[in-house]
Amino acid sequence: MKKILLLATGGTIASRNLGEGLTPALTAEELLRQVPELNGLCEVDAEEVYRLDSTNMRPENWVELAQRVQARYRDYDGFVITHGTDTMAYAAASLYYLLQNVRKPVVLTGAQVSIFERDSDARENLVGAFRYACDDAAAGVRVFFDGKVICGTRARKTRTRSYNAFSSVDYPVVAIVRDDLVQYYIKGDVTGEEAFYDTLDPKVLLVKLTPGIDAGILDYAAENAHAVIIESFGVGGIPHYEDGSFERGIEHLLSRGVRVVVATQVAHEGSAMETYRVGYRIKERYHLPEAYEMTTEAVLAKTMWALTVTDTPEAFGRVFATPVGNDLLM
């Protein structure tokens, strides 16, 4: 029988309405008592790491989760992490870079409705996450939700209320759990050497371009961030105003040693900066790392990780451009 460690962090799945809206209230052990279906499936140990709404989760929390997995990696066959849905995709992406190419499953799950509610999705998600974690072919950092197993760098919350809240962006669902069976669409996609990290740099600013945006926001970033992700228009368009303010803003960032990454704010199909002049001239002039079809969550997580393993802009660019698992599909 497989031995699985449950790490509970709070979220809707463990919430009750205490008079001012839902707030996490259940312990890890109380969660387990709600799913007797796990009896006979696996041996489970449980730890309550946090009792937080995921809105309040931060990179240091995900670092601690990674450290707990690493410390107990030899003792368990897999790990299930209950987490609020609002930042679960960020958590999964962060853990993907902190726990690279792990051969054991690290599965994040949660719920849209508290496990206390009669028609909650919590029990199905929790049981499904454990069932996947117990499968012999399970590996890597995954999100399990509404029957689907999603790669950690491909998950995105695309619905605020529906039970099918998460989508796999520009990458197939790894597997589904149906009728108590794990059915794979992709198997053996975790390759490369296992590598464990325990640091993220949270001083990353995401700048989503809007029509007419003042480039002065980049001056703020130059004083307050170690890296800036520019979410461009379309396939990579960055405004070319008559005063050249965006070019000067990028130059100011680079002169201060701030790393700059260009992504797209469009959900699917990725960037290609060279397509239009508004992207081509920026890419040719500054040779900025480009995120291509990575999700925003993965871009942020990879940037926070890459900052901690590099010390020059050139090294940062090389690390960011090197695929880790399935984050880049070029």
Domains and CATH numbers, the chain: 3-196 (3.40.50.1170), 204-321 (3.40.50.40)
Least reliable range by pLDDT among 73-82, 198-207, 273-282: 273-282
pTM of the shown model: 0.96
Give me the catalytic one of 9, 12, 109, 296.
12
Phi, psi of 132 (to 5 degrees): -65, -45
12 is catalytic: yes
pLDDT per residue as tens digits for the range 18-70: 778 888 888 899 999 999 999 989 999 999 999 999 999 999 999 999 999 99
Confidence of residue 226 (pLDDT cuts 50, 70, 90): very high
Residue 82 CB partners (closer than 8 Å, separation 6+)? 6, 7, 8, 9, 10, 11, 13, 14, 28, 31, 108, 109, 110, 126
Given a cut of 70, whether residue 330 has pLDDT beyond it is no
Which residues are 48's β-sheet partners?
Answer: 8
Please give the pLDDT value at position 188: 85
Please give the pLDDT value at position 296: 96
What are the C-alpha distances in Å from 155 to residues 36, 214, 298? Answer: 28, 31, 9
Q: Shortest CA distance to 228 belongs to which of 306, 303, 321, 315?
A: 303
Cα separation, 53 vs 63, in Å, equals 17
Least reliable range by pLDDT among 223-227, 228-232, 282-286, 293-297: 282-286
Cα separation, 98 vs 85, in Å, equals 20
Least reliable range by pLDDT among 203-207, 240-244, 306-310: 240-244
What are the C-alpha distances in Å from 291 to residues 58, 83, 158, 208, 254? Answer: 22, 26, 20, 14, 18
Please give the pLDDT value at position 19: 75
SS (H, E, C) 98-135: HEECCCCEEEEECCCCCCCCCCCCHHHHHHHHHHHHCC
Residue with tokens 């069932």, as numbered in its chain: 131
